[in-house]
Amino acid sequence: MPVTTISGRDIHVDDEGFLTEYDEWDENLAKVLATNIGIDLTDEHWQAIRFVRDDFKAQGETPTIRRVSSVGGIDTKKLFQLFPKKPAKKMSYIAGVPKPHGCV
């Protein structure tokens, strides 16, 4: 697996830049990843990111937008405002979990 350096740390990623090691993630890294894709994190962003991480750890797979909305309690329209164009992909990238199945 490829390794990249982000903020002076070696991070394991896949070919698309998604983290492959759950425990290499922390909130400082999330801030850097968000900045890299043009997102300034707010409390609402953190709510979604924390849900994605917790759900991934519990379920063993990255949650879909529908799951984040229905189980996580964040309206789908709001997710598109927080993470424009590709919310599931962007949430997963920042949260340090694999890209959801079905995302291109």
Catalytic residues: 103
Q: Which residues pair with 10 in a beta bridge?
A: 5
Q: Are 91 and 56 in contact (CB under 8 A)?
A: no
Which tokens sit at 25? Answer: 């993630």
- 22 secondary structure, DSSP code: G
